[in-house]
Structures are given as structure tokens and as C-alpha cells.
């Protein structure tokens, strides 16, 4: 149907660190992938300008997480806390990078978190971040920065959550489009021999499924032994989400440039299913 898929080339990975459990997971995953692909790691810590501004307001009050007690928050105190957080993030980043023996750079920025992260990500091939940031509750959907990154970032995005490892089962939605092929190639690049790879063959009928399977098998070849094909006749987010839940994947490898699944459906899937995601983009 189309020519050979373009391979995803990752030379530099940006990872946003705010020391939340999800961002720690994204740091580990990014470092592991960097180690796997021999890429460089760029650590980003953003001092949120909104926080600094808020501290400057005369009435600003901080509500403590575990006591619900409130007390005034001043700039000085906030600066000190942010400095400590940055230090912690830096140490965590260095330790992780050195553990995987990868080249690394750490950058401390100040500004709007999403804007700064997206700007920094422009210099890299993959932006890794937690599905949600430092929130008082376990948010089911994406955090504001992650959501913005999914919608606006031009680079590939890896969204993780705590407990994620690269060895987890992978899931690819394959419809034969260049984007889907690229996602499949990327998944194969991450998979080890023992990694289970679920491939959703999205097509209207059995014939289409057979064609897709043949193509996918050609691409996969001998690179992984444990492939499970699933014939999916639906393209709406609800049914796809249900199917994804049933396979319990460790990482969704998706493209927002396929023929059968609309990008908005892909974004909704990313938001509603609570799984780590690697969003492969074609634009680069």
C-alpha cells in the first residue's frame, strides 16, 4: 500500500522533572530509552512563574497537603522551596543518567511550565513527562502540561506514570497508514525478544484484517517472538478504550497521523485511558 516505514530516529530526549511520582517514572523510562537508543538526555526543571507571581500577591495562602492548615506564602519562602525542589530534581536526574551511562544535560528554567517545557522540547526528538504533575489527588486524566504537550508539541511524546517500565507489554494501533507503520516500527525498536506486542488491526472486515496482518508480520519479521494480533472493527474512542483495557498494555505506542483513527480520537484515548503512552509524530 505504501513504501517502507520511516524509522523513528531519537538522538536527544527531553524529560520534564518536577519530582512527582509520575515524573520520576518518566525520568527512568526516558533514561532507559536513551540508553537503548544511545541518545542524550536533557533534564528540564521549570520554576513555575505562576507560583512566583502568586507568592507576591498580598493575600496568598498555602493550604498544606496533609493537614489542611493554611498559612501565608511569601516570595522568600517560595524561592527557598523552589530552590530545594530544583536541587532534588537535579540530583535525581544526575543519578538516573549516570546509572544508565548516558550523556546528559540539566537545565533550570523559569516561566510558564507548559510553554517552557514545549520550547525546550523543540530541541529534542522526544519529550518525556508524567501523565500528570504534582497534584493532591491521583488525577485520572492528563495533567494540564501533558494535555498541552499532546495537543501542541511538534515532537514525539512519552507520557508515563509511576510503576512503568520499558519491559511492559506494548500495544500498537495499526491500520497500514505511514503513521501506524511508524508507530509499529517504534514499538519494535523498544521491544525485547520477550516483550509481548499487541497489535490492533483496525479494519472494517476480515479481508482488510488479513491484509493488515500480513503487512504487520512483514514489518515485525523475527524481531519479537510474542506478537498478539487483535482484529478491531471499531475506530471510536470508547470501543478502542475498552479493547485497550482488555489487553492491559504497559505502553501504548500511537500515532496521531493515521488514516482510520482521527487525531482527536487519539488524544481522547490518551486522556481517558490511564496507560503510559508514546505518541509518535510524523512532522519531524
Partner 1 sequence: MPTPAPLNPEELYIQCDPDSFSFASTEDLDGEIKISGQERAQEAIRFGVGMKHNGFNIFALGPAGTGKQTTLEQYLRETASGEAVPEDWCYVYNFENMRQPCAISMPAGKACIFRHDMEHLIEGLLTVIPGAFSSEEYQEQEKNIKEQLNERQASEIEALEKKAAEKNIALIRTPSGFAFAPIKKGEVVNAEEFMRLKPEEKETIEKEISTLKESMQSIMMQIPKWQSETQEKLKELNQQIATFAAKPLFAELKTKYQDHKVVTAYLKDVEKDVVENFGQFLEKESPPPQMLFLPGQGKNTGNRSLNHYRVNVVIDNSKTEGAPVIYEDKPSIQNLVGDIEHLAQMGTLVTDFTLIKPGALHQANGGYLILSARRLLLEPLAYEALKKAIRTRQIRIESLAQLYGMASTVSLDPEPVPLDTKIILLGERSLYYLLSARDPDFDELFKVAADFDDEMERNQNSHLSYAGFVSSIVNREKLRHLDKYAVARMIEYGSRLSGDSGKLSTHIQSITDLVNESDYYATKNNHDLITREDVQQAIDARRYRAGRIPEKIQDAILQNTILIDTESEKVGQINGLSVYMLGNQSFGKPSRITTRIKMGKGEVIDIEREVEMGGPIHSKGVMILSGFLGGRFGGEQPLSLSATLVFEQSYGGVDGDSASSAELYALLSAISGKPIKQCFAVTGSVNQYGEIQAIGGVNEKIEGFFDLCKERGLTGQQGVLIPAANTRNLMLRDDVVNAVKENKFSIYPVKHVDEGIEILTGVPAGIQLEDGGYPEETINGLAVQRLKSMAEKQKKQSDNSSNNNPKES
Among 1, 9, 84, 239, binds partner 1 (CB under 8 A): 84
Q: Which residues contact 136 (CB under 8 A, 6 or more apart)?
A: 65
Dig out the grid coordinates for 238 from the structure: 470508547
Residue 189: CB atoms within 10 A of its CB come to 16
Q: Does 3 bind partner 1 (CB under 8 A)?
A: no
Among 138, 206, 225, 246, binds partner 1 (CB under 8 A): 138
Kindly calculate the radius of gyration of the chain based on its CA atoms and give it in whole angstroms: 20
Among 21, 74, 108, 112, binds partner 1 (CB under 8 A): 112
Q: Does 50 bind partner 1 (CB under 8 A)?
A: yes
Q: Does 48 bind partner 1 (CB under 8 A)?
A: yes
DSSP symbol at 192? -
Per DSSP, what are the bridge partners of residue 221? none
Among 2, 9, 38, 61, binds partner 1 (CB under 8 A): 61
In the complex, minimum distance from the CB of residue 226 to partner 1, in angstroms, rounded to a whole number? 20
Among 35, 36, 40, 54, binds partner 1 (CB under 8 A): 54
Q: Are strands 40-48 and 277-280 parallel, antiparallel or unpaired?
A: unpaired
Exposure string over 194-224, b if 16+ CB within 10 A, otherwise e: ebbbbbbbbbeeeebbeebbebbeebbeebb
Per DSSP, what are the bridge partners of residue 106? 43
Please say which residue, 123 or 248, places its beta carbon nearer to partner 1: 248
In the complex, minimum distance from the CB of residue 185 to partner 1, in angstroms, rounded to a whole number? 33
Name the site residues for partner 1 (rule: CB under 8 A).
Answer: 48-51, 53-54, 56-65, 68, 70, 73, 78, 81-82, 84-85, 112, 133-140
Amino acid at each position: 500500500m505504501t513504501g517502507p516505514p520511516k524509522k523513528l530516529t531519537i538522538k536527544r530526549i527531553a524529560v520534564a522533572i518536577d519530582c512527582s511520582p509520575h515524573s520520576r517514572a518518566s525520568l527512568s523510562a526516558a533514561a532507559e530509552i536513551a540508553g537503548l537508543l544511545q541518545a542524550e538526555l536533557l533534564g528540564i526543571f521549570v520554576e513555575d512563574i505562576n507560583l512566583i507571581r502568586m507568592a507576591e500577591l498580598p493575600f496568598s495562602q498555602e493550604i498544606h497537603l496533609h493537614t489542611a492548615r493554611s498559612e501565608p506564602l511569601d516570595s522568600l519562602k517560595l524561592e527557598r522551596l523552589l530552590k530545594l525542589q530544583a536541587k532534588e530534581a537535579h540530583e535525581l536526574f544526575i543519578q538516573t543518567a549516570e546509572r544508565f551511562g548516558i550523556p546528559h544535560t540539566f537545565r533550570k528554567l523559569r516561566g510558564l511550565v507548559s510553554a517552557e517545557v514545549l520550547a525546550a522540547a523543540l530541541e529534542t526528538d522526544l519529550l518525556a513527562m508524567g501523565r500528570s504533575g504534582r497534584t493532591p489527588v491521583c488525577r485520572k486524566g492528563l495533567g494540564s502540561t501533558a494535555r498541552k504537550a499532546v495537543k501542541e508539541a511538534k515532537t514525539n511524546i512519552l507520557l508515563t506514570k509511576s510503576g512503568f517500565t520499558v519491559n511492559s507489554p506494548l500495544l500498537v494501533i495499526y491500520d497500514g497508514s505511514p503513521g501506524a507503520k511508524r508507530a509499529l516500527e517504534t514499538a519494535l525498536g523498544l521491544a525485547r525478544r520477550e516483550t509481548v506486542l499487541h497489535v490492533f488491526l483496525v479494519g472494517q472486515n476480515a479481508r482488510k484484517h488479513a491484509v493488515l496482518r500480513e503487512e504487520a508480520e512483514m514489518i515485525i519479521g523475527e524481531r519479537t517472538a510474542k506478537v498478539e494480533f487483535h482484529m478491531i472493527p471499531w475506530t471510536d474512542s470508547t470501543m478502542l478504550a475498552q479493547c485497550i483495557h482488555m489487553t492491559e498494555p504497559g505502553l501504548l505506542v500511537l500515532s496521531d497521523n493515521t488514516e482510520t483513527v482521527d487525531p482527536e480520537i487519539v488524544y481522547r484515548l490518551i486522556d481517558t485511558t490511564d496507560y503510559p503512552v508514546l505518541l509518535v509524530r510524523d512532522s519531524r
